[in-house]
Structure 1
């Protein structure tokens, strides 16, 4: 199955239902040692969420497919922040300086 997003043809690979979920998100890219190369978290916004991953919006361009991230995202109820590891699956520039990123949870 294929879908079209902003003129791109992509093969549908989803196995989980995605739900709209708009919340802030913070993340850090992990280095080869499994530790962040820098200690500064980058902030963005979650656009949707599934049991297998999430789509986020960010202004950070340096993300590449395959990069492993430490991600922190908040829940509404209970009001806690969940840390997870996720891998970048795709990056798309939506407008100059704004990117959407597909992340797959590494469980």
Structure 2
């Protein structure tokens, strides 16, 4: 008998640290990064901009759409090439929130 995969954890909130490194001839990289942040803001997900990356609180199920939105926004802004680094924190039993990690620093 095959064991069924449990997927309920995919609807829990996760934290994703997203770093985009866009390249475009004659364009300021910070301007292109601003487009990525605007794409994140437009999703309505909770997020926090940090010096090297932006942390987003979403579900695992929302992740691929989020990354697609970011890449489309950067491409539209003139990005020719882009390296994207992700760090994903998942708790299989509960939500992961930005506040959980940041509350003692607020």
TM-score by length of structure 2 reads 0.27
Q: Relative contact order (alpha carbons < 8 A, sep ≥ 6): 1 or 2 greater?
A: 2
**Rg larger for:** 2
Report the structure, 1 or 2, having the larger strand content: 1
